[in-house]
Amino acid sequence: MFSKLSVVVTSVLITLAAAIPNTTPPVTPPTSNQCCNSVVPASNGAASAVAALLGLDLSGLLVDVGLSCSPITVIGNDCGGTSVTCDAPDKEWGGLIAINCIPITL
């Protein structure tokens, strides 16, 4: 009985995993000043985990990724993290991740 249940549960999990689309985000020129808690390579495990939650596939991207980012609205303020310019559409990614981050030098 338990073996049948485990087969059913495994089948459901595989079906759900296949149903979640993974898309590679486009790497566009950075346009948004962001304050990120950390900036790591796209190949970093933490970046991959956050991207997977959002349905993004970062494999093969050779750019830096910002994690836990918020927009910088005033130039010169101390964000307490890493100030970068990224592609960070808030509507899609909700500040969890930003792609193609380049450090801001003032």
Q: Total structural domains in the chain? A: 1
The CB-side HSE value for 10 (13 A sphere, CA atoms) comes to 6
Would residue 78 count as lying in a domain?
yes
By mean pLDDT, which of 15-24, 45-54, 60-69, 80-89 is the weakest?
A: 15-24
**Which amino acid would we find at residue 87?**
D
Structure tokens at 45: 């495990």
In the structure, what pLDDT confidence band is assigned to residue 90 with cuts at 50, 70 and 90?
low
| Of 99, 91, 106, residue with least CA distance to 31 | 99
Residues spanned by the domain of 80? 23-103
Would residue 12 count as lying in a domain?
no
pTM, rounded to two decimals: 0.67
- Judge whether 102 and 39 are in contact, CB under 8 Å: no
Above 60 in pLDDT, residue 26?
no
Would residue 41 count as lying in a domain?
yes
